[in-house]
Structure formats: structure tokens, C-alpha cells
């Protein structure tokens, strides 16, 4: 009997998860694949966006027409972090006479060297990964054999790159992500998963083209958030609401009670009114989120990580086009502080060269970052 485990956060489960399992069944002649949502994956310590019960139900919906697949709640029923070494040990005890495999995505295979007790995992299962380029596979295979004295299997199936983060952002903005099964999508909509009650009414205040800008800002911010140890839900909320007051005039009843700072230029005003609306009308009381909205245009000295993230995502999202933007985008993914320094320098130098006044908070932000980053260069 040939059996494979396929674990993951499945947050949410999507088409390529199903295609990977089908390919493994076909290429390895598997009798059974056990799909197992994790309680808390060690490589995703900030936690899943949907709870375990919801992710379990979504997996059951996605795989319900796959006769050789069983969805298990084993890891969800355990306490603490879902370590694969413990799961594989239990798996081997339950199926001692079976040929046992463990399905992993290409990115997880690269990270396998950092897993807890990888040697112990390989005592109980053979790793099976999505196919990838021949040269890249051979380099990784040599490294793998050098580390463990064993090989892994590589499927002919390579699949398409699908970002679960992009799926979640799309759902939060009311979009239907193409990689989602219709039944999974209906379940998500019914349960109100992957969104926040403030997002839809905030976006309703924006023009359609501005909503698309906010969507791209959220995509960029959420894609970078995990590597900065920023919770994705915070990045999403701040990015989605950052321009909520862009088209709300000071005379609007929504801004009754708003106290405007002195000498604020029109292009900057909406960051203050946006933070006011976020707190007073959309019920946001997380100070980090409010500050990220409040300073997303000007910046300020001593910005927090979420403030930096939203400021830069707003400046560099895929729809922006100005000289040097590609260089800044490359820095965004590699060194956020260096990117902030170069972005503020670009802004201040541009305003000075055109004879425009630099807003005091922007100048203070630049001077501060220059003292922290620029002097270290």
C-alpha cells in the first residue's frame, strides 16, 4: 500500500493544492493521500488567518470528489506547533507496512534543512516535491544528499505559482480569486473569512481607480509583512483604509468633530482625515494601524515598522511609474530601511529641485532616517 501525507496551513486551500495531490496520485500510483491542515505551522508563527475548523471544512470541500484523498484533523487536534517530525512518527506507527511519502511544495523543500529533526522525518517517509528546473533540482538534490545521505522524489508536475497571500487580499477586497474552488469561495463568503467589516464601507468612499490602487498597496504590504514579523491582518487593514478619506471634503458630515492640524498642504490632508474616519466611523482602535494611515503620505521621524511598510507600499505599488521606481522596489524586498532612506531622499530632492515646499514631517522623517541609515553607509 502506498500512502502520502500532505500537510500545510491551507489558508485557504486552492486549485494548485488539489492539482499537486492529483499529480502525486497519478505519478506515484498512491492508494491514499491524507490531507492534514496544521494547527500552527512552525514556518508561519504569526498564525493562520482562518481558524482550524474553517480550514478543515474548506479542505473537505476542495477534496470531496477525490476518492483517494482523506482529510484529517490530526494536527489540529494536537496542542501547540505542528511539527512534521511528530506527525510522521505517528503516521509510521499507524501504517507500519505501507510505502510512506510526504508531499511538499518546492519552497518547503528548500526550507527542509531548517525543519525540526529532518533526519527523523526521513526515517519514516520519502519526501516528494513539485517538479522544477532540471539544473535547480540537481543542485538541491546534491545538497540534500550531502546533508542526509538520502534522495527526494521530484514529480513531473510543476504547477502554477499561486500566492495564498494574494488570494486573501483579493477576498478582503471583495474579489473572486481564480484559483479558488467555487464551493470553497462560497464557504468563505458565507463565513465572512479573510476580511474586516471596515474594509467594504471604507472602499465605498473611494473612486474605482483609487480602490484598485488601494488593492495594489495591500498586495504589496501583505506580501512583505511576514518577513518583517508584522501580522498580515494589520498590514491589510492599514493598506486597505489608507486612502479612505481621499475624496471626503472637510465639509462632509463624516468629518464633523475633526480638528485639522495647521498648514497642511492638500495632498497630505487625507492622511489625517483618513485616520479620523478609521477610528471614529470604522471602529479601528489599533494605534499602529491608525498611525500607519495617519502618516502614510508624509512619513515622520521614528516611524514604526507598519508605518514604513504602508508608506513604501503606497509609494511603490505596481501602478506607480517614475524614474528610479524599479530600483526602489528592489530595495523594498531586501532592505526596508535602506528603501525608506532612498525613497525619502528622492522625495525631498525632487521637491527642492522643483521649488516646492517640503512638508515638515517629511523633512523630519528624512533627517531621522539619514542619521540612522545614511551615516552608516
Give the CATH number for residue 236.
1.10.3210.10
Residue 126: which of 60, 28, 10, 264 has the closest Cα? 28
Residue 222: which of 181, 186, 172 has the closest Cα? 172
Structural domain contains residue 170: no
**Domain shared by 118 and 212, yes or no:** no
**Domain shared by 245 and 329, yes or no:** yes
**CA separation for the pair 362, 347 (Å, rounded):** 9
**Domain shared by 324 and 280, yes or no:** yes
Structural domain contains residue 186: no
Per the structure, the complete domain to which residue 285 belongs is given by: 196-376
Biggest CA–CA distance in the chain, Å, is 78
CA 281 from chain centre, in angstroms, equals 27
Residue 80's pLDDT is: 77
For the four alpha carbons of 327, 332, 334 and 336, in that order, the dihedral sign comes to: positive
**Domain shared by 294 and 214, yes or no:** yes
Structural domain contains residue 130: yes
**CA separation for the pair 74, 72 (Å, rounded):** 6
**Domain shared by 158 and 205, yes or no:** no
- What lies within 8 Å, CB to CB, of 330 at 6+ separation is none
Structural domain contains residue 183: no
* Bridge partners of residue 36, in order along the sequence: 7
**What are the angstrom distances between the C-alpha of 349 and each of 4, 342, 352?**
58, 10, 5
**Domain shared by 203 and 339, yes or no:** yes
**Domain shared by 57 and 132, yes or no:** yes
Which residue among 142, 164, 186 closes a domain?
A: 164
**Domain shared by 260 and 366, yes or no:** yes
Give the CATH number for residue 18.
3.40.50.620
**Residues 117-128 as b or e (16 or more Cβ within 10 Å = b):** ebeebbebbebb
Helix (H, G, I), strand (E, B) or coil at 154: strand
Residue 328's pLDDT is: 98
**CA separation for the pair 330, 339 (Å, rounded):** 8
Structural domain contains residue 352: yes
Per-residue pLDDT of the chain (377 residues; tens, 9 = 90+): 999 999 999 999 999 999 999 999 999 999 999 999 998 765 554 555 899 999 999 999 999 999 999 999 999 998 878 889 999 999 999 999 999 999 998 778 888 999 999 999 999 999 999 876 666 778 888 999 999 999 999 998 888 889 999 999 999 999 999 999 999 999 999 999 999 999 999 999 999 999 999 999 999 999 999 999 999 999 999 999 999 999 999 999 999 999 989 999 999 999 999 999 999 999 999 999 999 999 999 999 999 999 999 999 999 999 999 999 999 999 999 999 999 999 999 999 999 999 889 999 999 999 999 998 756 55
Structural domain contains residue 169: no
**CA separation for the pair 27, 103 (Å, rounded):** 12
Helix (H, G, I), strand (E, B) or coil at 302: coil
**Domain shared by 109 and 28, yes or no:** yes
Q: Give the other-Cβ count within 10 Å of 363's Cβ.
A: 19
**Domain shared by 136 and 239, yes or no:** no
For the four alpha carbons of 187, 191, 192 and 194, in that order, the dihedral sign comes to: negative
Residue 60's pLDDT is: 98
pTM: 0.92
**Domain shared by 118 and 255, yes or no:** no
Q: Give the other-Cβ count within 10 Å of 251's Cβ.
A: 8
Q: Do residues 149 and 118 make contact, with C-beta atoms less than 8 angstroms apart?
A: no
Residue 133's pLDDT is: 65
Residue 374's pLDDT is: 55
User: How many structural domains does the chain have?
Assistant: 2
**Domain shared by 159 and 222, yes or no:** no
Residue 37: which of 16, 18, 10 has the closest Cα? 10
Does residue 12 have a cis bond before it (omega within 30 degrees)?
yes
Structural domain contains residue 150: yes
Amino acid at each position: 500500500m502506498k500512502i502520502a501525507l500532505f500537510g500545510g496551513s491551507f489558508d485557504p486551500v486552492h486549485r494548485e493544492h488539489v492539482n499537486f495531490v492529483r499529480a502525486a496520485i497519478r505519478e506515484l500510483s498512491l492508494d491514499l493521500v491524507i490531507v492534514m491542515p496544521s494547527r500552527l505551522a512552525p514556518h508561519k508563527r504569526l498564525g493562520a488567518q482562518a481558524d482550524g475548523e474553517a480550514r478543515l471544512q474548506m479542505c473537505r470541500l476542495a477534496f470531496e470528489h477525490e476518492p483517494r484523498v482523506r482529510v484529517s484533523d490530526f494536527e489540529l487536534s494536537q496542542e501547540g506547533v505542528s511539527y512534521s517530525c511528530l506527525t510522521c512518527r505517528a503516521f509510521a506507527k499507524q501504517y507500519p507496512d505501507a510505502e510512506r511519502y510526504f508531499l511538499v511544495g518546492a519552497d518547503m523543500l528548500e526550507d527542509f534543512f531548517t525543519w525540526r529533526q529532518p533526519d527523523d522525518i526521513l526515517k519514516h517517509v520519502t519526501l516528494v516535491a513539485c517538479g522544477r528546473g532540471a539544473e535547480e533540482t540537481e543542485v538541491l538534490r546534491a545538497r540534500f544528499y550531502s546533508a542526509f545521505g538520502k534522495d527526494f522524489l521530484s514529480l513531473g508536475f510543476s504547477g502554477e505559482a499561486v500566492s495564498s497571500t494574494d488570494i486573501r487580499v483579493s477576498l478582503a477586497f471583495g474579489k473572486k480569486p481564480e484559483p479558488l474552488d467555487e464551493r470553497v469561495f462560497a464557504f468563505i463568503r458565507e463565513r465572512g473569512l479573510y476580511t474586516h467589516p471596515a474594509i467594504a464601507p471604507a472602499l465605498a468612499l473611494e473612486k474605482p481607480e483609487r480602490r484598485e490602487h488601494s488593492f495594489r498597496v495591500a498586495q504589496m504590504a501583505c506580501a512583505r509583512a511576514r518577513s518583517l514579523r508584522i501580522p498580515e491582518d494589520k498590514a491589510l487593514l492599514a493598506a486597505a483604509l489608507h486612502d479612505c478619506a481621499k475624496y471626503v471634503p472637510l465639509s462632509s458630515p463624516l468629518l464633523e468633530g475633526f480638528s485639522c492640524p495647521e498648514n497642511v498642504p492638500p495632498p497630505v490632508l487625507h492622511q489625517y482625515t483618513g485616520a479620523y474616519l478609521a477610528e471614529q466611523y470604522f471602529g479601528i482602535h489599533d494605534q499602529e494601524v491608525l498611525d500607519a494611515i495617519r502618516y502614510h503620505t508624509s512619513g515622520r521621524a521614528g516611524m514604526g515598522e507598519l508605518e514604513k511598510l504602508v508608506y513604501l507600499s503606497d509609494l511603490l505599488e505596481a501602478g506607480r511609474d517614475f524614474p528610479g521606481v524599479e530600483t526602489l522596489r528592489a530595495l523594498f524586498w531586501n532592505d526596508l530601511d535602506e528603501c525608506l532612506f532612498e525613497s525619502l531622499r528622492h522625495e525631498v530632492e525632487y521637491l527642492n529641485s522643483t521649488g516646492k515646499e517640503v512638508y515638515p514631517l517629511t523633512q523630519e522623517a528624512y533627517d531621522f532616517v539619514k542619521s540612522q541609515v545614511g551615516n552608516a553607509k
